[in-house]
């Protein structure tokens, strides 16, 4: 452990992988494209789950569980849906020693199986809205994979709701996008752009897709969550009708929305540095680590002092670990705990004992504070809040500093070939311009951001120069 | 809803299914043998998960996640393991539009994929013990399925631990069995028999399997959890060695242990009645429901009184729902909430308003209590404790009353063909006697219970009459 991490400046991609593996967040598995989420990585996912689950429940949702294996024919019921997912499916053809009459696909997402059940459950407006979420694993056979960011199997949550009107479905779609934004910004300390996806980037089967987009430290975008207004597409495909209040029969309106273990990749890439992982305090499985700095002749005393301090902090409800290992040097331990991203390090040595104090070190800035013994708990709490805020502020500053408007397509191209960043530019809304830019620069429309929705569109389309109808944000992405 | 439930006395099996479907705990899915766990059923699973997860963490375990798809060759590495699981496997043969070079099986359990990773992670005694748990879905292609009790896909947790000695592994095996026992008895209010499984009933790949066995209301046994001492079997199959403290190289010792959504089936069958589900209060998603008993002319006043009471109880931390629906009659609502098993019903009508009181009704006994308004919260808490205890006591009494010793095999046979129950009988430990009894009566050895381990074996083997070596408990089972 404490192996060398490739610096961000020399190879960002390798830096990322080095952090994932050295901080023991995940590991490659013997199955192509599938990862093993190790305990330190899974602890982050558990915290993400806990908080999001609470937010879903506070907005009226309940959890359920639907089968992972879906009859192949179900996927074909919604034409765009099957087209979108077919190339990525894993298919069970044998089971119980026999060839199956109908192959079963491992869910790439659960709209089809869920709407086949909603058909049984929904009859009247009294059954609506139906607000169900599922925590599950899904499989999408990806050609190129990267730990957390894109893996063949991943963990996620998928909300699937049914409503009595188009307006309600749209309100739900935006509400859940807002929940994601709040979670990303307030818990993960990652500022995001909310916005609508372009037609060509929307979910296969959706009427409209909305996303939150975050900027990573290499200035690429990462789509951190999506929320889809499915209109009546799945209700029609699965014939889900309901009796309306005024006695008519209508198809149900739907939404779906999800975030995945990819968020852990976002967390790593948004905040970490060349010493390792940096975890936003509100999601940290361990908030502070107490490390005694002893020599051979004072192991017992210093350890006792550290232990007492650690126990006190735990007793006050802080998530604290104590590293009493006397086989490793303090310096080695400092590096190890920096690697795993614990927000605050508390060092205590003989001098600190004498002075009845402790040394607090911030993971994000490296700042050292000498704190009287009686004030340690309060100071740790203060630092946790400060670090949380500082990580967000820094990320927001970084995004602002790297968000541009360009005078010409040539300037845009130079930027995308060079430094990168987010570019706000008018778009004529034609698929052709969008495709041409992608082909040319690998940059895509991340979304049509809400924050520019009411800003008058200045100038012509980034690509064709014809009148721009919408502001779009363009970037290379994960 | 509030549809008729088949009485237990007329068809126990149908009674069970009626409860599962009418209480909306689960539903049949379009995929053979797979169930949909509906929100009310999943809420029970969430509570089970939360409590068990806390118990696992309190005993030093951490969670992780391993791939669901396992190379077919991995399963073959442990000879008994593959033999045990082969007939039940679901196999992915196509993925991403191409035929796979090596088929991937959907995990029926994760020993093989996990031990292939432990081989990378474990090198020294310093890496041990490794105490990992996983919450996951698994698939076993079952011919005959029943909601919750036996489904093709189910949710479970599987602990997989690695140890530096045989003694440690055995201690872990028993510790986790003890955790399960505590959970079943103190949270689910289901008394269980801890014991060792016979050779023929042990887990494919284990050295020893231990189980907890519960008696259902039809006197059949239900295996509620298992804990396996895997010895060095998987370490040898996957070549997982470690440097011992004294510098030698040795294979690692292992355990695995699991409980599943089957526990929900146990909960239903242990406590419920002909009115519907009965949930032990400590696991109840809703502890009490407030139902206003109004006429058309006093809906507003009575509802306000009910609302104020409900809000007060919620404010005090009780999990309370309020059923203000004025389209349904009180009687219909009483039946509905009895069906879903809420432990305490709180009725408030105009007379109760006058007297400044509420009527509390126990779900388990139907007992009615008239309680002054100011004492409702305290009384609800008291009732929750009383119901929890009473459910356990009743189940224990029932098991005691239906646990027998028999004078002869003929008597045993008569019992198994008739009333059923648990039979404690000496066993010569031969596979042949065990198999003959199963063939003859469908009863199996549930386990060799710890509580009889130190009781001198009286008399000969239940079947062959030769000297009995161990006490066994026999029963028909789920």
pLDDT digits (tens, 9 = 90+) for A28-64: 999 989 999 999 999 999 999 999 999 999 999 999 9
More confident residue, B39 or B2: B39
Check CB contact under 8 Å for A29 and B67. Answer: yes
The answer to whether B74 and A34 are in contact (CB under 8 A) is no
The 3-state DSSP class for residue A234 equals helix
Q: Is the CA virtual torsion B148, B151, B155, B160 positive or negative?
A: positive
Token pair, residue A140, equals 């999408």
Q: Distance from A164 to chain B by nearest Cα, in Å?
A: 19
Cβ–Cβ of A69/B90 closer than 8 Å? yes
Does A450 lie at the interface with B, CB-CB under 8 angstroms?
Answer: no
Q: If pLDDT is split at 50, 70 and 90, which confidence band does B79 have?
A: confident
Closest alpha carbon to A142 in A82, A89, A84, A80 = A89
Angle in degrees, 0-180, between the axes of helices A409-417 and A431-441, rounded to the nearest 10: 40
Nearest-CA distance from B259 to chain A in Å?
17
B328–A contact, CB cutoff 8 A: no
CB-nearest partner of A97 from B38, B66, B87: B87
Are the C-beta atoms of B236 and B242 separated by less than 8 Å?
no
The Cα angle at residue A377 between residues A371 and A383, in degrees rounded to 5: 75
Q: CA-CA distance, B268 to B261, in Å (whole number)?
A: 12
Give per-residue pLDDT as tens, A151-165: 999 999 999 999 999
- DSSP assignment of B81-94: HHHHHGGG-EEEEE
Among B132, B141, B153, beta carbon nearest to A67: B153
Tell me what the pLDDT averaged over chain A comes to. 96
- pLDDT value for A81: 87
Q: Tell me, what's the pLDDT at A277? A: 98
Q: A357 CA to chain B: closest CA distance, Å? A: 31
From B210, B266, B218, select the one nearest B446 (Cα to Cα).
B210
- Identify the CATH number of the domain defined by range B286-383: 3.40.50.800
Q: Are B5 and B275 in contact (CB under 8 A)?
A: yes
DSSP letter (8 states) at residue A450: G
- Most A CBs within 10 Å, among B95, B101, B134, B261, to test the A interface: B95
Query: Does the structure show a pLDDT above 60 at B1?
Result: no
Percent with pLDDT over 90 in chain A: 95
Cβ neighbors of B289 (< 8 A, separation 6 or more) are B320, B321, B322, B323, B337, B342, B344, B345, B346
With bands split at pLDDT 50, 70 and 90, how would you rate the model's confidence at A1? very low
- Exposure of A41 by Cβ count < 10 A (0-12 exposed, 13-18 middle, 19+ buried)? buried
156-175 of A, contacting B, C-beta below 8 A: none
The residue of chain B nearest to residue A94, with distances taken between CA atoms, is B91
Instruction: Give the pLDDT score at A3.
Output: 66
- DSSP readout, A395-428? HHHHHHHTEE--SSHHHHHHHHHTT--EEEEEE-
Assess whether pLDDT exceeds 70 at residue A355. yes
The radius of gyration computed from the CA coordinates of chain A, to the nearest angstrom, equals 25
Q: Length of chain B in residues, anyone?
A: 478
Q: Can you say whether the dihedral through the CA atoms of A397, A400, A403, A405 is positive or negative?
A: negative
- What's B12-271's CATH class? alpha beta
Q: Please name the member of B31, B46, B136 whose beta carbon is closest to the beta carbon of A69.
A: B31
Q: Which of A64, A70, A92 sits opposite B39 (nearest CB)?
A: A64
Instruction: Name the strand (E) or helix (H) holding A26.
Output: strand A26-28
Distances (CA, A) of B62 to A37, A88, A96, A330, B85: 12, 32, 33, 26, 27
Instruction: Judge whether A30 is closer than 8 Å to chain B, CB to CB.
Output: yes
Q: What's the mean pLDDT in B366-380?
A: 98
Rg of chain B (C-alpha set): 25
Cβ within 8 Å, pair A29-B87: no
The per-residue pLDDT of chain B, averaged, comes to 96
SS3 of chain B: helix, strand, coil, percent, to 5: 40, 30, 30
Per-residue pLDDT of A107-128, as tens digits, reads 999 999 999 999 999 999 999 9
Mean pLDDT of B159-172: 98
ipTM of the shown complex: 0.97
Sign for the pseudo-dihedral over CA of A117, A119, A120, A122: positive
Other beta carbons within 10 Å of B402: 18
**pLDDT the model gives residue B3:** 66
Q: Is the pLDDT of residue A252 over 50?
A: yes
Residue B227, Cβ neighbours under 10 Å: how many? Answer: 28
Which bin fits A476, alpha (ψ -120 to 50), beta or left (φ > 0)? beta
Q: Which tokens sit at A141?
A: 């056979």
Q: Which CATH architecture has domain B403-475?
A: 2-Layer Sandwich (3.30)
Q: Are strands A90-95 and B90-95 parallel, antiparallel or unpaired?
A: antiparallel
Structure tokens at A139: 């499989």
CA dist., res. B310 & res. B282, Å (int)? 19
By Cβ distance, the residue of A37, A70, A90 closest to B65 is A37
Give the separation between CA A267 and CA A189, rounded to whole angstroms. Answer: 8
CA A330 to chain centre: 34
User: A53 φ, ψ to 5°?
Assistant: -60, -40
- E strand or H helix that includes residue B265: helix B262-271
* Chain-chain contact of A36 with B65 (C-beta, under 8 angstroms): yes
**Position A79 confidence tier, pLDDT thresholds 50, 70, 90:** confident
Residues of B in contact with A142 (CB under 8 A): 96
Instruction: Give the closest residue to A41 by CA, choosing from A139, A147, A134, A142.
Output: A147
Residue A228 CA to residue A224 CA, distance in Å, equals 14
Asked if B448 contacts B471 with a C-beta cutoff of 8 angstroms, the reply is yes
Q: Please report the pLDDT score of residue A296 as a whole number.
A: 85
pLDDT surpassing 60 at residue B268: yes
Q: Do B106 and A92 touch (CB under 8 A)?
A: yes
A150: Cβ contacts below 8 Å, ≥ 6 apart: A142, A144, A262, A478
Residues A117 and A148 sit within 8 Å (Cβ to Cβ): no
Nearest CB among B42, B67, B93 relative to A65 is that of B42
Burial of A455 (C-beta count, 10 Å sphere; 0-12/13-18/19+) = exposed
Whether the predicted pLDDT of A432 surpasses 70: yes
Residue B265 to residue A193: CA distance in whole angstroms: 46
Range from A95-104, A185-194, B77-86 carrying the lowest mean pLDDT:
B77-86
What per-residue confidence (pLDDT) applies to B343? 98
How are strands ordered across the β-sheet holding B221-231? Answer: B62-63, B130-139, B153-163, B253-260, B221-231, B208-215, B192-196, B444-449, B470-475, B422-427, B403-404
Closest B-chain CA to A100: B90
Determine the Cα–Cα distance for residues A48 and A184; give it in Å rounded to an integer.
10
Chain A residues inside the 8 Å CB shell of B70: 31
Residues of chain A by 3-state class (helix, strand, coil), percent to 5: 40, 30, 30
Question: To which H or E segment does residue B241 belong?
Answer: strand B241-243
Query: Looking at chain A from residue 80 to 109, which residues have their Cβ under 8 Å from any Cβ of chain B?
Result: 86-97, 103-104, 106
Is residue A219 scored above 90 in pLDDT?
yes
Burial of A374 (0-12, 13-18, 19+ CB in 10 A): exposed
Domain ranges for chain B: 12-271, 286-383, 403-475
Is B28's pLDDT higher than 60? yes
Distance CA B22, CA B337 (A): 11
Task: Summarize the confidence of residues A347-354 as an average pLDDT.
Answer: 96
* Calpha distance A110→A102 (Å, rounded): 18
C-alpha B469/C-alpha B270 separation (Å) is 32
- Preferred mutation among A1, A25, A30 to probe B, highest tally of B CBs within 10 A: A30
Please write the tens of the pLDDT for every residue from B279-329: 999 999 999 999 999 988 899 999 999 999 999 999 999 999 999 998 899
* pLDDT of A295 strictly over 90: no
Q: Comparing C-alpha atoms, which of A93, A330, A387 is closest to residue B92?
A: A93
């Amino acid at each position: 452990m404490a192996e060398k991490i490739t610096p961000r400046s020399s190879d960002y991609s390798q830096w990322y992988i080095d952090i994932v593996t050295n901080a023991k967040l995940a590991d490659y598995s013997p199955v192509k494209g599938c990862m093993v989420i190790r305990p330190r990585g899974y602890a982050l996912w558990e915290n993400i789950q806990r908080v999001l689950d609470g937010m879903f429940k506070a907005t009226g949702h309940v959890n359920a569980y639907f089968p992972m294996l879906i009859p192949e024919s179900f996927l074909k019921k919604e034409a765009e849906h099957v087209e979108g997912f077919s190339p990525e499916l894993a298919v069970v053809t044998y089971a119980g020693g026999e060839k199956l009459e109908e192959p079963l696909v491992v869910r790439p997402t659960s709209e089809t199986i869920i709407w086949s059940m909603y058909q049984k459950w929904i009859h009247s407006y009294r059954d609506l809205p139906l607000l169900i979420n599922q925590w599950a694993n899904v499989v999408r056979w990806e050609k190129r994979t990267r730990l957390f960011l894109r893996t063949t199997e991943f963990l996620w949550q998928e909300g699937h709701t049914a409503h009595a009107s188009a307006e309600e479905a749209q309100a739900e779609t935006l509400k859940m996008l807002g929940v994601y934004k709040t979670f990303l910004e307030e818990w993960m300390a990652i500022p995001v752009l909310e916005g609508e996806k372009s037609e060509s980037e929307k979910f296969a089967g959706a009427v409209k897709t909305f996303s939150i987009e975050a900027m990573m430290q290499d200035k690429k975008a990462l789509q951190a969550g999506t929320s889809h207004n499915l209109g009546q597409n799945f209700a029609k495909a699965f014939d889900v009708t309901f009796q309306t209040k005024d006695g008519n029969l209508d198809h149900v309106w739907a939404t779906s929305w999800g975030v995945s273990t990819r968020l852990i990749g976002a967390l790593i890439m948004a905040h970490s540095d060349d010493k390792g992982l940096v975890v936003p305090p509100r999601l940290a499985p361990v908030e502070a680590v107490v490390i005694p700095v002893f020599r051979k002749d004072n192991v017992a005393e210093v350890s006792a002092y550290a232990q007492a301090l650690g126990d006190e902090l735990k007793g006050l409800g802080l998530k604290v670990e104590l590293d009493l290992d006397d086989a490793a040097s303090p310096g080695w331990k400092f590096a190890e705990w920096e690697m795993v991203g614990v927000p605050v390090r508390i060092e205590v040595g003989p001098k600190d004992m004498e002075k009845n104090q402790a040394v607090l070190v911030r993971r994000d800035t490296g700042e050292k504070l000498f704190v009287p013994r009686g004030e340690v708990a309060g100071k740790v709490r203060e630092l946790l809040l400060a670090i949380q805020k500082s990580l967000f502020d820094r990320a927001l500053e970084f995004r602002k500093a790297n968000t541009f408007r360009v005078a010409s397509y040539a300037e845009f191209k130079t930027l995308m070939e060079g430094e990168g960043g987010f570019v706000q530019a008018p778009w004529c809304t034609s698929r052709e311009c969008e495709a041409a830019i992608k082909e040319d620069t690998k940059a895509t429309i991340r979304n049509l951001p809400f924050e520019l929705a009411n800003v008058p569109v200045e100038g012509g389309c980034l690509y064709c120069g014809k009148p721009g109808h919408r502001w779009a944000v363009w970037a290379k992405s994960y």
